[in-house]
Structure 1
Amino acid sequence: MVTGKRKTKNGDILTFDYYQGKFLGKGAFAKCYEMTSKEDGKVYAGKVIEKASLTKSNALQKLYTEIKNHSLLKHQNVVRFYNYFEDEKSYYLILEMCNHKTLRSLLRKRKHLTEVECRYYLYQILEALHHIHCKEIMHRDLKLDNIFLKNMSVKIGDFGLSVKLENGEKKKTVCGTPNYIAPEVLEKTGHSYPADIWSVGVIMYTLLVGVPPFETPNITETYQRIKDNSYCFPTTSEISSTAKDLISKLLVSNPDMRPPISSVLSHPFFLGPLPRSIPEYTLVRSPENDIRNASPLKNQLAKLPLQPISENIPTTPKTNPHKHFSFVAPSPPGTPTVVGVRPANPQARTGVHPLAAQPNPTLASLARPALSAQGKKRKLDAEKELAADNPQKKKKVGNDDEGNEQIKQFLNILNHQLENMKPIDKENVVVVTDCKSVMIEDVMISKDIQWVSKWVDYSQKYGIGYVLRDGTIGVSFVDKTHIWSSEGSTCFKDQTMISPKVIDADSETDPRIMKRIHLHTLFNKYLTSQVLSSAGLGVELKPNTPLESVYVTRWHKSTRAITFLMSNNSYQINFFQDHTKIIASLQETDNTIRLLFVNPQGNKHTLPLTSLINPDHTDALEKVKYLAHVLSKNFS
């Protein structure tokens, strides 16, 4: 039994108890063990650093930096950081357990991988790396040993050498693993995010060839080969020209010439087959035809390698390491397109993702900074920019009473039913023990239920773009104006209007409406060409005429979920971590709450609120209560 303590910022002392299990591996300064929580029995990986090993003056500060940086990262392809504490002898970092070891252990058994496998792993590495860089963090030690596998998916870990970069700064400390170090690191000319891109090139080469491109028996000679960019492809290897071309672009000596992640993902290499998953047997032998013949990335329900923006988490680094991303009009016809990014346009950048793309962050152990004054000013400036041409200037920007009475009515009924729920006969209960597994069969859903199928978040500048179940495409702007289109017609509504009006996009002369028409066009093209529908929530109904169409009136996003309020008085909440979605609406005939649950696999289940009661309790009920909390706190 390991018992440790941690002091909070408030001065409270927290105590943690874990059962230390089998040894998992070791690094330069730490050993890893299987750690089981005494409290809930969950199994984690425990990184144990003996205090006696931290002999250098800055060693402890480096450990704190690792904890701080790693705790900021919440992405499906990054090892999750859960907790940290210490006892008299050691520091303990409690991390996500990865059951399939690392890419290094995989390569030891396989010698080298196929291009399909390389593409599969590389895509996930790039997704994770984009998330890391967007938090203004540089990893600085990307290598096969630090890329873990859990259920055959990538998990980047070990942030012991990671560093925060601010205001375009560059670091000059020589650090990393010899075979993976970028030339600018060795030259001490200053290094930044492109050094991680170099390491990705080394990783790609190593996966396909079996050995690193610059490896020699002598470190000095290896370093010289890196500086000279001296490597070659074995004549016996069957590596495609597109793979070689991408490697050559990643391993460019000049860091300024290395491509940003958006351009990497738009490379023709990623137009080849990309499986959605890889079977476990590939740990020991080559994949079979079912994997080799996987669909190309552009044909799949793939994920955006980007997370939704949040008010107090920078969407991109202040130094903008991926300056080639931008929310702009689509590229000219004929340019390559990769699902989930804006690869066709080298100037593209976005801070958006499809609903099911990835779990959204909540900081587990270190407090997240509040929205800075500068961040608040940017958001207010965005509202003012759109509101500047609004004739109702006396109306306070951001003050929206639209639908408040309906929300209060819905909340009153919801809270009343939650407070008065009583256990009923088990035979009459729909058991919902876990939102992820409850819905086994797809059910026929009433046509009057609407949902948000796709969405993109650009609220720091403009607003939320979305696609509904019936194909309606709309934008809800930060100044509380709305525009949406259906069946070839467009509707507009602002706070001064009781009901929306149909507008002619081609002949409109009102400058404020023209501006929103233009933005709607950009959102429309992006949503239809780049963003994928959430699992189970596709576009499946014949569209209504615009004035009959439902549209999103308001939204709220926390670190846990995003909530949409729709004009038909229904409410949709999408949870980032487990990808569960709930659509709730009020049945006016009997004043009961109807719920539609959608699990990560896309299975749907409709049920009344009272059906959530069961002897085992349920996270589904907790999620409904969270929806009530969000509505009460942010909308009523």
Structure 2
Amino acid sequence: MDILRSIGSPAADRMCASSQRSADPPSSGRSSRSSSSRRRSEERSAPAEMARIVTDPETGRCYCRGKVLGKGGFAKCYEMTDLSTSKVYAAKIIPHTRVSKPHQREKIDREIELHKLLHHKHIVHFYHHFEDKENIYILLEYCSRKSLAHILKARKVLTEPEVRYYLRQIVSGLKYLHEQEILHRDLKLGNFFVSESMELKVGDFGLAAKLELAGNRRKTICGTPNYLSPEVLNKQGHGCESDIWALGCVMYTMLLGRPPFETTNLKETYRCIREARYSLPSSLSPPAKLLISSLLTKSPEDRPHLDHILRHDFFIQGFSPERLPPSCCHSAPDFHVSSPAKSFFKKAAAALFGGKRDKVKYYETLNKQTKEEEEIYKLQHDLKRTAISQQSSQLPEDGRPLPPSADEPVAAVTEAQSPTMQDTIRLIVRGSLGSCSSSSSECLEDDMAGSVAGTVASVFRGCIENMPKAGDIPKGSGSSNLQWVTKWVDYSNKYGFGYQLSDNTVGVLFNNGTHMSLLPDRKTIHYYAELGKRAVFPTCEVPEHFVGQVTVLKYFSHYMEENLMDGGDLVSMTDKHMPRLYLLQWLKSDRALMMLFNDGTFQVNFYHDHTKIILCAQQDEYLLTYINEERVSTTFALGSLLTSGCPKDLRKRMEYSLSMLLQRGS
């Protein structure tokens, strides 16, 4: 597998010259062995001809050449150590004899000039280049964990959390490249390098090129056959969309261990690519299938932008680790929440599956539900996308909230008629409280979860953009009779997300999208298979097909009770008339955890100082509760914030909370 390949390699030249390359083996086994022997002989003799100690003629620095890291048509990549600092580089060494033709040297120079200007944490860093009489030397960032190609070779397939981890970093690096108007044009697993700390770096800019206008785009066919896009094969030109297509191929390969269009015949591979014809095995999760399908869309203009990829349900609804251990290079990771929790959930797993026979029976039952679940998921996804496109088409380009519509009584307001701040907050929430503040089940069935998020976002944004600046937290007002999350556990890599409400209800949003609540009396369970559709049964008479989930629910409850402390002093007053909350969606960033509930309650927990923001609707107004670092809570009517404002630190938390909510709704 190539680690680093020059833009001017003979292989690249052949690919750029023609859309076809023979995949047939040599006709004679003897000639094959003979040519292989010659190649091995040449490779053995090459290192002996190259000096082990290399000196930069301009700086006088000496470098010691180490082991071979990879090779391409023009160049070999070696480990290279600066003898004065002991810093280790990956050195791409190109003999002058291999770039003797002017166009070959121009390609090397173009690669150097392009790469040296790139500075991003997910791009292989370019340090220095020099040349002597024999070779050109390019010193690059050394990635000790080699590449994703090496990792996949050892692992065969990667887990979805790992794929999210790597894809986030690839998208970050690729977004930077596209912002610099640079196309990579050769995205594949062998060109994603992994550092000592398991950070991914996009490398090998041998085929990279500046983005041209649509009419002047490059139409040469170059890249790796399995990752070429239909428009490149059809010589329609390279654009950012071609890199997006390759990203889809990369995601598919990581999850399934093979490229989506791989066949035994190159002509057939190209035919499949042109037709965007590939299979999506049932082993893939519905969100993974949908994301791959959108990335591998035949029409370039229908593929998602990089900004939208990370907002896809594949990322939002699934667990994404912040770090991976080095052991992931050769074995599957063991994700867990904490060592005490691990023992609890091992017991839960045993209770859930029992023996091997029970486990097989469980998966047989699960597989029967797969097609039905996928259809429900696709329907929900399509409805949400439709709602989002309708919303976004009404927004002005600067992203601010729309002005009131013409039929509202604030279209033309004179100074004498100007509404008070209390009126303003009513206008902001007008038309939304009535539909979602009571039981919310009907609201969810009609408008899906996206409607709840959209309502909360509009209220939150309206408050932030209209309230004045203030130095002190205003005096609290409003009732504290609200439900909020006091404890939570993320164990979504196996089961789901668990939480405890302030009224002692324990809920779990399972990975399959179903939700189960254990009520405070510990005798009643509410089960939601679909939004707004509830089944109720006692804990002493659990239906057979729910036994596994109820067991896990109880272990979540037991773990949180035994190991976690409450997150603040805010106590919920029990009110049997209050609607039952259940979690619709949660989202974790590097700074905070967001939770959105069926009645519009919106909570954000900040990790570093344990502060929390809770927004909920009660009767005719919205209440915002802030729990500070000392776990002391203050509740305000949103109208009071519009009148008096709030201090900078609270405002920043509100703005960040809004950004998370908008990310969820994208």
TM-score by length of 1: 0.47
Query: Which structure: greater helix fraction?
Result: 2
